[in-house]
């Protein structure tokens, strides 16, 4: 099996078989900039819908007391263009690192925030480590979420 296919299979297996807990999240974890950004309370729940709806899964892993996590929530995920794109094109989860330690260890995540983008076929499209501002996030992640041709110009236009 080639390396790319192996990575896809491993990622899918981790997401489906990690025996992840389902947990509720406080309003602070579900909202960024006053608008609901992260629409699911667990990775499992979001993954099931992502597969059913054929939409990518976006997971932001955060840790308690992480200054850069809060900054990314307010500045990046709180940006109107990013909120619109995520609502339209992805299933989203804000995952507390403390609740997903086995998955984080298997994925090799070492710091927070870390954003994981997974296709509905189970392929890891990108792993964004650390704080990324709205413009850089738009240029890097939004094309991965687009159905069909990338809409980079649409996402980036509001950052000029």
Report the C-alpha gap between 62 and 112 in whole angstroms. Answer: 6
Q: Which domain holds residue 78?
A: 3-159
CA nearest to 121, candidates 11, 4, 1, 2: 11
CA nearest to 76, candidates 2, 128, 143: 128
Scanning the structure block, which residue is given the tokens 């076929």? 121
pTM, full prediction: 0.73
Reduce the DSSP state of residue 150 to 3 states and report it. Answer: coil
What percentage of the chain has pLDDT greater than the value 70?
69
Report the C-alpha gap between 15 and 98 in whole angstroms. Answer: 16
CATH number at residue 68: 3.40.30.10
Residues β-bridged to residue 63 = none
CA nearest to 131, candidates 62, 83, 85: 62
Report the C-alpha gap between 116 and 13 in whole angstroms. Answer: 15
In this predicted model, what pLDDT tens digit does every residue of 33-54 receive, in sequence order? 445 889 998 999 999 999 999 9
Side-chain-side CA neighbours of 68 within 13 Å: the count stands at 12
In this predicted model, what pLDDT tens digit does every residue of 95-152 receive, in sequence order? 999 999 999 999 999 999 999 999 999 999 999 999 999 999 999 998 998 763 333 3
Backbone angles phi, psi at 31, to 5 degrees: -120, 145
Q: How many CB atoms lie within 10 A of CB 62?
A: 21
In this predicted model, what pLDDT tens digit does every residue of 110-125 receive, in sequence order? 999 999 999 999 999 9
> Structurally, how many domains does the chain consist of?
1
Find the helix or strand (DSSP H, E) in which 99 lies. Answer: none
């Amino acid at each position: 099996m080639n390396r790319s296919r192996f990575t896809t299979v491993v990622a899918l297996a981790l997401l489906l078989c990690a025996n992840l807990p389902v947990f509720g999240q406080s309003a602070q974890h579900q909202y960024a900039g006053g608008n609901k950004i992260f629409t699911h309370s667990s990775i499992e729940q979001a993954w099931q819908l992502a597969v059913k709806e054929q939409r990518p899964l976006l997971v932001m892993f955060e840790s308690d007391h992480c200054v850069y996590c809060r900054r990314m929530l307010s500045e990046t995920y709180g940006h109107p263009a990013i909120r619109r794109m995520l609502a339209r094109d992805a299933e989203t989860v804000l995952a507390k690192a403390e609740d997903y330690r086995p998955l984080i260890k298997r994925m090799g995540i070492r710091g927070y925030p870390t954003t994981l983008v997974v296709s509905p076929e189970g392929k890891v499209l990108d792993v964004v480590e650390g704080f990324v501002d709205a413009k850089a996030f738009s240029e890097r992640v939004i094309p991965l979420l687009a159905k069909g041709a990338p809409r980079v110009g649409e996402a980036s236009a509001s950052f000029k």
